[in-house]
Chain A
C-alpha cells in the first residue's frame, strides 16, 4: 500500500510543480486578432477599409423620407415619427425616439473606423502605392460622408481625425460646422486625387472619384457656396462617366443595379447581406408592415400624368403590383380589407404606399431584399448643378439644360407631359428646381435634408397630414383621411439634439437650443 501512495504522491506533487508555472495564466485569444498583429499585411488595409462600408447605412433612406412632408412613419414609436412631427427630444426615454442617439453612435463608429484606416495604413508597405492611396481615399470619403450627415443634423459636433485610444481624448468641445465642412472638403479633395473613376466587377460599389466630387457638391450646396457647388457638380458631369438611365421606372430594379446613373450606393447580395425594404414599405396584404407611407402632399406634388407618380407611389384601388391575379389594393376606411387605413399599425395610415425599392422578387421573402440602396445618382447631380447655377447667375441655358434633361428622361416617349422649362425668373427657376427635386428624388431620403437646407421645414412640416379621399359609409359624405398634426419649432427643430448621455459624458459639449 505504501508503494501505491509513494507513486501516487510523487506523481501528484510533480504535476502540481509542473502546473505552478505562471505560463498557465497566459491565455491568448484564438477567435479574434490581437491588434499587435494587425496593420502589418497588405490585406489588413483592405479588411479595415471594407469594415467602413456598412456605415453608409447611417443614411436611412426611408426613415429620413418620413421625417419630411413626403411621408409619415406609420408606427408612432418608430424613430422617424417624433422627428417628423417635431416632438424629438434629447433623451430617448422621453419618447423622442432613439434615432438621435443611434445615428450619432453609428456615425462616430464609422468615423473611428475611417480614422483607423487613415492612420494604420501608413504602417503597411504596399508594393502598389496606388492601392494604398485608393484605400486611403475610400476612408477619407467615408469620414467626409459621415461628418457631412452629422453637421447637417446636429450643427457643430466634436471633430476627430485620428482614432481615439484613450477616453480622455474624447473630451473635446464642439467644432463649428463650417470648420468641419472645410475639413470635409480638404479630405474630399485628397480622395478625389486618390480614387479611380470606376472599378472592375469584383470591386463595383467601392467609392469612386465621381462619388467624392458629387459629395463635395452636396457639402458646398449645404453651405450655400453655390460657385463651389456648381463647379463640383460640373466636374461630375464633365467626367463623362455618368448618364441618366433611360427609363425612370426601371431605375430601382434588380436588373438595373449599378447602372450608369448610380454614383454612390450601398451594395447588397442575396441572403448574406440583405435588408427589409419590402417588409418596411409594402402593404399588409402582401406581408408588408407599412412602416413608412407617402402623404397626400407628395401625391399632389406630381404634375399631371407625370409617370414618376406611378413609378413611386401605389394609389388606392390600383391593382396590387406585387400580387398575382389582379388583386385590387383597397385601403378605403370601412372596406373591411386587410389594408384598410389604420385597421392595424401594419396597415397604411394614408391609403398610399411607396413602390420604389418594393420589388416583386421580394414578395416571398419580404425581409430578404438585396436591391442596392442608392445615395447619390446623376439626376441629383444635375439638379444640384441647376440649382447652384441659378443661384449664381439666374436660369442660364446650362441650368435649363440640366433640369430639362431630368424632365425629358421622366417624360420618356410621351410628348404631351412634363414640357421643357424655359423663360423662368430666378425665383421661378428656384421653385421649379425644388419641385423637380421633390418628385424626381422622392423616397430617396433627400427631401428632409432639402427642407432643412432651404429653411422651408418651418412651413412644410407644420399642420395636418392628409391621406386619401373616401366616402364615409355612415354619412355618405366625402372625407379625407387625417393622419397626424405636425409642429415645427423654428428656433429648435432645424437641428437634432446632441444625445443627452453624450453631454453627461463629455462636459465640454453644449446642447442645441431649446433641447
Chain B
C-alpha cells in the first residue's frame, strides 16, 4: 500500500490523542477503512443543519466539526477538499449528509461513533482492525462479492445496508464487501446501486453472500448490440430496436419468431401457421423490399443462421433489430431486408446458479370454421345439381335419414375438423447452469421441447444444448468458445398435404370417417383424410445443427483491441418418407377400390459453413471528443451437398429401410454446391461533447455468386445524431431528460439468388428410353445471365428519441424511404426461347413508412410498478419497375402497384333477373340470375382480362403491439396485444366452392342466392362450375385483426420463504398465447395464407410453468 501519504486528522484534540496511541501501521490501515455507518448512539442521535452554497468541501467539513462532535479522518491525496459543493439540510443525521456530500464520487466513508473516515480505498480489513483496536464487542461479519447479473462483471461501489439500520458498506474495486454488525434477529441486507434493481436478502446465518444485481432498464444507460459491437442506446444514430431477452423467455412459444410478433415497430411478423418443429412465419423489416427472398439476415452471436428455429427463447439475452441502412450497412450485401442480431446469455461470476424451468401447455386451433350439417349439405348439393341441369344427387329419403341421425354409419354426419384436429400437449423442460469465477465463466443450457401437433399424427421433439464459455487468460487476453447443438425431429403422415385437400375438397360430411371394424368409407374421389392420416405412412425429417465458435480478444494498448473469431456451422439433415402399401375396400361389397404401393424416399444433406473474422477496435476519449474506430475482415464459405435414394414395392410396411425395397425402379440422385463471400468492413464514430454524434459504416463485399468483374460491391452509410437535450437551452427543462434527432442514409445489398446463375449450364437427366432401356439426355434448361449483380437498396431515415421524467416516458419515432433498385428477378421471358427465365437486375421497389414506439413505466407506492408500451408502424409499398405485369391466379405484379396485389374483376352484386343478364356485358354462357355480376370496366360488352384491375394487396398495413405489465408485490401480470390495422386475404378452393365440388361447406353458404332468397350474401350454387369462383373482389376478405396475444400471471415466492426451502428463487406462472382474436375474417385465422387451405393451422396455447433457481 501507499507509504507516503499525509494524514490529516481534524480538530478534536482528545481524539487526536487516541489515534496517537495506535501503532502507525494500524493507523495506516485504519485510514483506508471506509464506508461504515456504525450503530452508535451519537451518530444516530446527533443532528446537523447546513446551508452552504458554492462552498468548498473543506469548509463544509469544518462546519460539521464545529456544530457537532464529529471529526474527519482522511488522506488529503485522496480527498479533494477544494471541491465546490452545495448543501442545504435541516436537522439531519450525519449519514444523510454524507450521502449528499459524496454521492457520485469515488469516496468511501465510514462513521465510527464520532469518527468519520473518508477514503477512496477499500476499508473492510481496516475496519475490522479498527474495531478490535477499539475493543468493540464481537460482531457478526458477512462478506461476499457483487456482480452484474447479465455480464458477470464485478461491481464496485454497490451500497449494502443492514435493513432497519444506517449500518452499511460500499463494495471495493473488485466488487467485494464485508460488513460487521452486532448480531440481531433475522438480519436482512439491502443491496442497491444506481441503475440496478435493489435486492433485499435475509442472511439466515450465512457469513458469505454473493449477489448478482440485475440492471434496471432505464433507457439512457442501456447498451444495445449493433453490428460487430455494442453502442449505448443514447448514442445511437441509426434505427435499432432492442428486445429484451427476458420478455421473450417468459413466453412459452415454440418459436422465437412467434414471440417477436408485435414487439418491435417496423418489424411485422405474420404467422402463417406451421406444423410442430417448423417455423412458418414471415418476418418483414420495414416492408417488402424485393421480389425474391424478403427474410432478414439473422445472426446468433455473430454467426449467420437461416432461421430462428434452433434458438431457444430462454437462451436469449437480447435481440437487436437493425432497421435502417445506417445500422445494417456493416452487413453489406445481405442486409437489404434488415438484420436481426441475437445475443445469447453468457456466464456470470460469483457462484454457480442452477435454474430449472418447465411449462406444460395445451394447444388448440385459433379458429374453427362453422360447417353445415350433413343434411343441409345434401340439400345444397341437390340444389346446385338442379341449377346445373343435373339429376339431384341425394334422395329425399337419404336427406331425411341423415337429419334424423339414427343410422350414423349409413347416413353419417361427420365433423371432419373435430376428427382431424385435437387439443395437443406441448411441454418444455430446461436446465441452466450459470456462474464462474473471474477467470472462467460459463453458461450452459439444455432443454427439451416436445410438441404434439393439433393435427393428428403430427408432432416434434427438439433438444438444444448451448454452452458459452469465457476464459480470461490474462488482463489483456480473453478467450471464448461457444458451442450450440440443436436437434429437431418431427413426424407427420406421409401424405400430409393430401389430408388438407381430402378434408376440404374430397370428403363431405356424408362420409363415415371410420367404421367400428376399423375400415374407412371413401369419399367421391376415393379419399378419406382420417385414412390418409392413419394409413399413408410417415414423413420424418430430422436435423441437427452444430455451431462451434471460438474467439479471442487482445488488448494491444489501452483502447485498442483485436478480436479474432472462427466459427463452424454444420447442418445435417435426414428425411425419411415412407409410403405404406395399403388398399381400400368397399365396406359392404369388399371390392377393391384403391391400392397404394409402398415406397421410401431417404435423403441426407449436409451444409457446412465457416466464417473467419478479424476485428480491430479502438476507442479514445479526450476532453470533449470521443472516437471509436472499427475495421474488420470476414471470409465466409458454404458447401452444401445432398443425396436422395428411392425404392418402391417393399417387402413389408414394417421393414422400412432401402434394402427391403425392390431393386427394380430404384433411383438415386446427388447434388452439391458452394458459395463464398469475402468482406472488409469498418465503422467510425465521433462524438463531440455528448451532443453531436456522427457515425459512418462501410462494407466491401465480394461474392462468388457473380461473374468476375461484377463480384465486388461497396455499401456505405452515414448517420448523424444531435442530442438537443444536452444543449444549454434545453438543459433547464427538468422533465425532458432526452431529446435526440437522428438522420441516416446508406446503401445495402442483396445477393440472395440461386448459385451459378452467371454460368450457362447444361443439365443431364433429360432422359428417355429406347427399346425398353433408359438413355441419358442433356439440354440447357435455363438461360444464364452473365451480367448479373447485386440488388441495391438505398435507405434514408429520420428519427427522434424523446425521454421524459427520467425516461419514465419514452417516445421513438422514425420516418424512412427505402428504394431498392436492380432487383434480381426472373422476369418472364417469351416462352418461345424455350428456356427458363434468367435472373436479371431489373426491378425496383419503393417503401416509405413510419414507426412510432412509446412506453411509460412508473411505480405507485413501493409495491406496484407498471408499464404501458405501444408501437405501431406502417409501410407503403410500390413497384417502380417490373416490366410486363405478371398475373398468376388472383395475384398481379405490376408497376405502380403494391407487391402481392390482388387482381380480378369488380363485383356488382348478383344478377337478379334474366333481363339483367341479357343487358349486362357477356360473362359466360351459363350466367344466370344469382351469379356474380362483374363490372364491365371498358364498356366493351364482354367481361375479359381487360376488365380486371388491382383490388388491394395482402401486405399488412399498420402493424401494432400493445404491452401492459403490472407488478404487485410478488405478483407480475403482463398482457400483450398485437394486430394489423389493414390487411386483405383471398379465399379460394373449398371455402368458396363448398357443395358445388362436393367439398367442405361452411354455414355462410346457406345464405346463397335462390329465387326465394334474392337478398343473399352468397351467389347461387351451380354444380361443378367455376364461373362464380373467378378472381374477383367478391372473395377478398378483410383480414385485419386485433389479437389478445399473450396473457401471463406470475408469482415469485418471497425471499424469506425461498430461503427456508433452500432455493434462490421460484416463480410459477399461468400463460395464454393467442387467447382471443377480433377480426372480420370468416372461417379461418386472419393470418391465413391466401388461397386454398393447404397449411398447418395457427394455434393458441394455454400453459402453466415454473422456474426454480438453486
A residues lining the B interface (CB < 8 Å): 1, 4-5, 8-9, 12-13, 15-16, 19-20, 22, 24-36, 38, 44, 47-54, 76-77, 87, 89-91, 93-95, 101, 104-105, 108-113, 116, 158, 160, 164-165, 167, 170-171, 199, 201-206, 258, 267-273, 284-287, 327, 333, 338, 342-346, 364-365, 482, 487, 499-502, 504-506
Contact = CB atoms under 8 A, between A and B. Distances in A.
Contact of B777 (A1, A50, A285): A50
A273 B764 CA distance: 16
A164 B833 contact: yes
Interface in B670-704: 670-678, 702-704
Given A95-B1026, A272-B665, A501 B525 contact: no
B674 A116 contact: no
Contacts of B524: 343-346
B473 interface: yes
Given A53-B768, A164-B833, A506-B830, A113 B779 contact: yes
Nearest to A258: B771
A205 B828 contact: no
B597 A365 contact: yes
Nearest to A13: B614
A170 B766 contact: no
Nearest to B884: A504
Interface stretch (B103-111, B178-186, B754-762): B754-762
A48 B778 contact: yes
Nearest to A109: B834
The 5 closest A-B pairs by CB, nearest first: A112-B834, A271-B665, A51-B777, A344-B524, A50-B777
Contacts of B637: 24
Contact of B771 (A202, A272, A327, A338): A202
Nearest to A115: B834
Contacts of B831: 101, 104-105, 108-109, 499, 501-502
A285 B591 contact: yes
B770 interface: yes
Given A108-B832, A109-B835, A116-B780, A19 B612 contact: yes
B350 to A, nearest CB: 24
Contact of B774 (A12, A26, A272): A272
Max count, chain B CB within 10 A of own CB: residue among A36, A201, A203, A271 = A271
A33 B675 contact: no
The interface centre, meaning the residue of B526, B778, B925, B998 with most chain A CB atoms within 10 A of its CB, is: B778
Given A31-B673, A167-B833, A272-B667, A95 B767 contact: no
B390 A1 contact: no
Contacts of A19: 612, 635, 678
Contacts of B1017: none
B765 to A, nearest CB: 9
A511 B565 CA distance: 62
B678 A22 contact: yes
Contact of A502 (B591, B664, B832): B832
A505 B829 CA distance: 7
A11 to B, nearest CB: 9
Contacts of A165: 783
A34 B760 contact: yes
Nearest to A50: B777
Contacts of B770: 199, 202-206, 267
Contact of A20 (B391, B678, B830): B678
Contacts of B884: 504-505
A167 B829 contact: yes
A158 to B, nearest CB: 5
Nearest to A172: B832
Given A51-B779, A54-B777, A205-B771, 18 more contacts: A5-B477, A25-B676, A31-B672, A35-B759, A35-B784, A51-B766, A93-B887, A93-B890, A108-B832, A109-B835, A164-B832, A170-B832, A201-B771, A270-B772, A273-B768, A287-B593, A342-B390, A364-B595
B406 to A, nearest CB: 21
B922 interface: no
A29 B675 CA distance: 10
Contact of B832 (A160, A287, A342): A160
Given A112-B833, A271-B664, A47 B778 contact: yes
Nearest to A37: B762
Nearest to A90: B945
B1031 interface: yes
A163 to B, nearest CB: 8
Contact of B763 (A1, A32, A201): A32
Contacts of B76: none
B473 A111 contact: no
A340 to B, nearest CB: 10
B91 interface: no
Contact of A267 (B562, B635, B768, B925): B768
A189 to B, nearest CB: 24
A182 to B, nearest CB: 20
B525 A345 contact: yes
A273 B834 contact: no
A16 B635 contact: yes
Given A29-B756, A333-B391, A345-B1024, A35 B780 contact: yes
Given A29-B759, A346-B524, A94 B777 contact: no
B769 A205 contact: yes
A32 B667 contact: no
A436 B840 CA distance: 54
Interface string B632-652: 010101000000000010000
A225 to B, nearest CB: 27
Contacts of A4: 473, 477
A338 B586 contact: yes
Contacts of A51: 766, 768, 777-779
A379 to B, nearest CB: 23
Given A94-B944, A108-B831, A273-B769, A22 B778 contact: no
B1030 interface: yes
Contact of B1025 (A1, A26, A35, A76): A76
A104 B779 CA distance: 18
B564 interface: yes
A113 B708 CA distance: 29
A33 B777 CA distance: 12
B889 interface: yes
Given A32-B756, A33-B778, A1 B676 contact: no
B1027 to A, nearest CB: 7
A268 B769 CA distance: 6
Contacts of B476: 1, 5
A267 to B, nearest CB: 5
Nearest to B926: A485
B773 interface: yes
Interface in B504-524: 523-524
Contacts of A113: 779-780, 834
A489 B263 CA distance: 60
B945 A91 contact: yes
Contacts of A15: 612
A112 B769 CA distance: 21
A245 to B, nearest CB: 18
20 contacts: A5-B476, A16-B635, A20-B678, A27-B673, A27-B675, A29-B756, A35-B762, A35-B780, A50-B775, A51-B768, A109-B831, A112-B835, A205-B769, A206-B770, A258-B771, A272-B767, A284-B526, A286-B592, A364-B595, A504-B884
B422 interface: no
A271 B649 CA distance: 11
Nearest to B562: A9
B952 to A, nearest CB: 17
A164 B637 CA distance: 35
A33 B762 contact: yes
A167 B830 contact: yes
A284 B524 CA distance: 10
A70 to B, nearest CB: 22
Contacts of A1: 473-474, 476-477
Nearest to B835: A112
Interface string B393-423: 1000000000000000000000000000000
